[in-house]
Structure 1
Amino acid sequence: MPLFYRNTFFRLVLFACVLFTSCDTNNFKEKADHIYYNGTVYTVDNEFNIAEAFAVKDEEILAIGTTENILKKYSSDSKIDLKQKYIYPGFIDAHSHFFWFAEGLNNLDLSNTNSLEEVLEVLNTANKNTPKDVIIGYGWDNTKWTNKNLPTKSILDKYFKNTPVILSRIDGHAMWVNSKVLELAQITDSTKVQGGEIVKMNGNPTGVLVDNAMDFVNKLELGKVHPNQLPLLLSQAQDSCFKVGLTGVSDFGYIKRPTLILYDSLYRKGVLKIHNYAMLDASLDGIDYMLSENYIENEEFPRAIKLRGDGALGSHGACLLSPYKDKKETYGQMVLSSDKIREISKIAFDKEFQVCVHAIGDSTNREVLKIFSELLEHNNDRRWRIEHAQVVNPKDIFFFKNYSIIPSVQPMHATSDMDFAIERLGDVRIQHSYTFQTLLNQNNWLPLGTDFPVEPINPLYTFYAAVARKDRSGLPEKGFQLKEALTREQALRGMTSWAAKAQFMEDRIGSIEEGKEADFIILDKDIMKIEIDEVLKVEVINTYIKGNKVY
């Protein structure tokens, strides 16, 4: 073959090879279900890496990297241009009341009222529009009222003489009822209660019941949600979570075994998708459940139990080492005795259950920390938790570090309580209250929650309160005890990877990493860089669980 033809032949062969390769280049790429590119991706991994793109396959994160690398290595029929938007791991609420929130969707919401008159207006308007046999409401807060005294039954009796009225305080630790309810619950001037208070005036019940005193009414099951309504209510509660970027919650609602059975059924049917770390309530059938060895097999449910150590600061129910400044004869009270907490904790320790105790006052925190220290070894991985840890005496802080006890806090409580907390605690004790940075330094990680519906459900409000230490009106201007504020990275970890770790799920969720479930959200602004006051205006564009768009 002449040289000219030979060179031409080889050129044609080479051209054909190049053409074939370029046309079939996708055959050399790994197939993904979805590719997301051209964004800012906060992975929240150990190094807090920031990427541009990631691929999803079989509901998990397949790979993370630059847009160029991901598009070069992977192919997909579903490529989503993020258009420079901001991606974060799905938010996880480390302390919420998901079941209680769902049940309450049928009840009157009083959380936006700012006076006694507004409360009565909501009650009367609702009853006029849709009269009910029992009126159930939630969210009144006397600390917002001009007259901050607790309300009385006579106010309700004026409008509702024969209709039972049950109104829970914003913190869930007090209840305001009318005379009809007191009559049905057989509460009189001689009724006694342990671990709570029947508030009285001149020896007679006023209609306000604190902590364990509420059990007299709860046992009546007035206005109880019918089981057939629960699936729809739980689905609606889940949608509310998705809308604000929540892909997981720790459920501290009044959970007992039948509730877990319902949850299990709804997960198997695909009705529920949100990760729900639902803790059994020790005051219900939680102890029997621990002893039964008959555990429900579901990856969402923990071996964890919730105990209520004391009440709330707003209703003078938090148990303090010295009296309240604004109610000098009152120390608050333990809802469960130290001996009972110790007994239940010992059972949980033997059964390898995680123990999570509601403790707000410095006396309750001291008692629970001491009990934990009797059972736990140094540097253990039991992850026992103090929920709230609002007022902790400086002499007791070391327990958290020495016994690997996790403080689980809710930043919005600091900014919601600050107006009355100084009145309750005084200038000295307030200095070791809501000390989030101090608590973080004990274990180097700190899960954050909202405590919804006690506080609004939006986790971005948690982020703002943790970093700015201001309420949502931007006060105080210089922040409340700003030395205890968290950095933005700490706050984001507290709502994602640290929240996942607090519920033993860090291998599955909480960060955008290869092999983890593809739970993530897309925000319209970068909460890590914008002015902190702008965070309150940030919107969730999309929410994904296991790679599936749920909002």
Structure 2
Amino acid sequence: MKLIISLLATASLSCFANTTVIYNVNGYTPTYKGETQHFSALVFKDGKIVKTGNDSIKNSFPDATAIDGKQATLLPGLVDAHGHVIGLGNNLSQLDVRNTRSADEVGKMLAEFAKDKQSWIIGRGWNQEQWPGGEFPTAADLDKYVKDKPVVLSRVDGHAVWVNSKAMELAGIAKQTPSPAGGEILKLDSGLPSGVFIDKAETLITQHVPKVSHASINTALDNAGKHLLSLGITSTHDAGIDYDTWQVYKQRSEQSTLPVRIVAMLSAADPQLETMLKAGKYKDMNDMLSIRSVKVYADGALGSRGAALIEEYADRKNHHGLMLETQEKLEQLFNLSFSHGFSANTHAIGDKANHVVLDAYENVFKKTGGILLRNRIEHAQIVTPEDIPRFKTLKIIPSMQPVHATSDMHMAEQRLTEKQLEGAYAWKTFLAQGSVIAAGSDFPVELADPFDGLYSAITRMDHNQLPEGGWRPQELLSRDEALRAFTLGGAYAAHQEFKVGSLEQGKWADFILIDKDYYKAPISEIHDINVTQTWIAGELKYKKEE
């Protein structure tokens, strides 16, 4: 009997040997039951949460490693439910023209960047809405600075490219080149291509850009991972990966070298979609990589007037945007996805696109099922008030990016009428009907910083706190609602609500320490919150330099 007691005591002590207690923290977590829990100590073992409570619980774990949190605020690791990981990583090494104020400013940056480049020059981030006049640029604007090397610059939303004459020459673009279905080649008054290619017309150019290697994908992944960890993002949903990225992600998962948790959506536009689907759903033992959905593209973006609208654009007569797929094609893609057990996550920004996508989902659900797969509409930016309840009826998750509202608000009021804006960026309305919002940023279209998104969700104001009271403030979220959308909302959309998204017993110990109290800081300071530490599965992955 003494031997048994001794063995039990030894086992009891050894079970705490790899236990860690972080105490003296100002901790908050949403819970599965819908509450927000406050705590001062967090216990985890083997990468998973044991319990939360007050500082006295560390006395129950005498042999645990104890870490003094020095009263820092602790939150669950943040989940970005819609980003583009490799695009973000590439952006960090390519020409970044975000926040430029004119085509000439872009040109000067391009000339400097191109000095040591021998091949295609790739960049991203321009936004003609920030320039005098708001007009689209032309190839001639780039030719003034670089004319001997092909230049391809993606618009900030990724739904248009601006190229120089050399790029059009190498791509064989001429006056008679027709715009493809679902795309538009903008033309000059002379009828010649202007140098801007929208949505599916982009591929007329981009198919000629040299293919990226697995090595460059790995580099981009590592660069993006470091950036995301520094922002407190422990899990991100990658909205549309190609075959090569699919291969790299699985290799990195098997090597246990993924920098953050990734929930990857297969791109429906990839020629090898069926090959990837036939390989089946993928999930590793540590929940670092999950692949079980397909990203489908229904329309373009509002900034390039590619979002498909029921009524014409307020600032472009007789123009309704671009549907990238017919409803019949959408239904085929949904059927294909569902037949392999994959959900369908569909990009839809305009009210027409959202309506057509909802119709397509409804038809497929009636014929073949799939309603329980947690299908999503990505963005769901402009939705008619009549269509919003259909998200709940059809169990469609609105995957929305709060920062889009604050970056789009001035442009949206030019593009759209008051009637079209009635169901725009309607987060509160979706929540009120019981929909789960999965919040993200759409990086690198927007900055990846989730505290920008939280600030936008709570205020609907820009960083100058304008407009006063918020833009269309009836759709404001509370701090609780916003944090839940950036944690458990994203986790639910990935079928991971029992794995990540909150600091509850048995879940992965993914958490962050920040330099201000998210709940008590003045609203104006939320976007300035900095992450000091990021932990994934109980391991410190990022620490801010002091």
* TM-score (norm: length of structure 1): 0.91
CA distance in 2, matches of 1:101, 1:379: 32
How far off its partner does 1:384 sit?
0.6
- The partner residue of 2:431 within 433, 440, 443 is 440
In structure 2, relative to structure 1, the CA distance for the partners of 1:460 and 1:543 (3 Å cut) is same
Within-5 A mapping of 1:291-302: 292-294=278-280, 296=282, 298=284, 299=287, 300-302=289-291
**Which of 531-540 and 485-494 deviates more?**
531-540
Q: What does residue 492 of structure 2 align with? A: 501
Q: What residue in structure 2 maps to residue 14 of structure 1?
A: none
Match of 1:186 in 2: 172
From 270, 273, 277, the counterpart of 2:256? 270
Query: In 1, Cα distance between the equivalents of 2:64 and 2:163?
Result: 59
1:151-550 correspondence to structure 2 within 5 Å: 151-192=137-178, 193-202=180-189, 203-222=191-210, 224-253=211-240, 255-285=241-271, 287-289=273-275, 292-294=278-280, 296=282, 298=284, 299=287, 300-376=289-365, 380-550=371-541
**Counterparts of 1:215 and 1:546, CA distance in 2:** 40
Larger radius of gyration: 1
Corresponding letter in the other structure for 1:468 = T
Match of 1:92 in 2: 79
- In the TM superposition, what is the alpha-carbon distance from 1:139 to its structure 2 partner? 0.2
Residue 154 of structure 1: SS of its match in structure 2?
helix
- The amino acid that maps onto 1:347 is L
Q: 1:63 aligns with which of 31, 51, 54?
A: 51
**Secondary structure at the counterpart of residue 277 of structure 1:** strand
Separation of aligned partners in 1, 2:301 and 2:271? 23
CA distance in 1, matches of 2:397, 2:162: 34
| Cα separation, partners in 2 of 1:346 and 1:489, compared to 1, 3 Å | same
Name the SS of the counterpart of 1:106 in structure 2.
coil
Q: Deviations over 1:192-226 (max 9, x none)?
A: 2110100112321000000000011121124x443
Cα distance in 1, alignment partners of residues 413 and 329 from structure 2: 31
Q: Give the match's secondary structure for 1:242.
A: helix
Cα distance in 2 between the residues matched to 1:29 and 1:269: 28
Contact 2:278 2:340 in 1 (8 A): no
Give 1:529 deviation, angstroms: 1.6
Residue equivalent to 1:74:
61
Equivalent residue pairs, number: 523
Mapped contact 1:400–1:442 kept (Cα < 8 A): no
| 1:60–1:514 Cα contact (<8 Å) kept | yes
Q: Unaligned regions of 5+ residues in structure 1, if any?
A: 1-23
| Alpha-carbon shift at residue 389 of structure 1 (Å) | 0.5
- Structure 1 residue ranges, 4+ long, deviating more than 4 angstroms after superposition: 26-32, 293-297, 377-380
Supply the distance in 2 between the matched residues of 1:60 and 1:234 (Cα, whole angstroms). Answer: 25
Q: Per the alignment, do residues 49 and 291 of structure 1 end up closer, same or farther by CA in structure 2, a change over 3 Å counting?
A: closer
CA contact under 8 A between 2:243 and 2:273: conserved in structure 1? no
Secondary structure of the structure 2 residue equivalent to 1:432: coil
| Alpha-carbon distance in 2 for matches of 1:258, 1:164 | 24
1:65 deviation in Å? 1.2
**In the superposition, relative to structure 1, how do residues 443 and 372 fare at CA in structure 2: closer, same or farther (>3 Å)?**
farther
**Which residue identity is paired with 2:142?**
L
SS at match of 1:535: helix
How far has the Cα of 1:115 moved from its partner? Answer: 2.0
* Letter aligned with residue 182 of structure 2: G
Of the three residues 90, 101, 118, the one matched with 1:114 is 101
Q: Deviations over 1:376-403 (max 9, x none)?
A: 3799532110000111011211211111
Matched residues in 1 for 2:303 and 2:323: separation?
15
User: What pairs up with 1:32-47 in 2 under 5 angstroms?
Assistant: 32-45=18-31, 46=33, 47=35
Separation in structure 2 between the aligned mates of residue 171 and residue 236 of structure 1, nearest angstrom = 21
CA distance, structure 1, for counterparts of residue 63 and residue 264 of structure 2? 36
Residue 286 of structure 1 deviates from its aligned partner by 5.5
Supply the distance in 2 between the matched residues of 1:41 and 1:476 (Cα, whole angstroms). Answer: 32
Could you say what secondary structure the match of 2:134 adopts? coil
Q: Structure 1 vs Structure 2: percent identity of aligned residues?
A: 37
What amino acid does structure 1 have at the position aligned with 2:51? Answer: A
| Distance in 2 of aligned mates of 1:406 and 1:422 | 26
Q: Note closer, same or farther for the CA distance 1:379–1:84 as it changes in structure 2 (3 Å cut).
A: farther
Candidates 109, 117, 125, aligned match of 2:112: 125
Distance 1:521 1:296 in 2: 27
> Matches of 2:118 and 2:133 in 1, distance apart?
29
Q: Which amino acid aligns with 2:476?
A: A
Matching residue's letter, 2:102: S
User: Deviation of residue 57 (structure 1)?
Assistant: 0.6
Judged with a 3 Å threshold, the aligned counterparts in structure 2 of structure 1 residues 63 and 204 are, in CA distance, closer, same or farther, namely same
Is the Cα–Cα contact under 8 Å of residues 385 and 422 in structure 2 kept in the other structure?
no
Moved more, 441-450 or 168-177: 441-450
Identify the residue that residue 11 of structure 1 maps to in structure 2: none
Q: Does the 8 A contact of 1:279 with 1:305 survive in 2?
A: yes
Separation in 2, partners of 1:256, 1:497: 27
Structure 2: where are the runs of 5+ without partners?
1-9
1:49 to 30, 37, 42: 37
Q: Name the SS for the 1:381 alignment partner.
A: helix
Give 1:73's aligned amino acid.
S
The 3-state SS of whatever aligns with 1:320 is coil
The Cα RMSD (Å) is 1.9
Secondary structure of the structure 2 residue equivalent to 1:176? strand
Q: How many Å separate the matches in 2 of 1:277 and 1:89?
A: 17
> 2: CA distance between counterparts of 1:379 and 1:307?
15
Q: Hey, what's the Cα distance between the residues in 1 that align with 2:530 and 2:88?
A: 22
Give the direction of change, closer, same or farther, for the CA distance of 1:383–1:31 in structure 2 (3 Å limit): same
TM-score under structure 2 length normalisation? 0.92
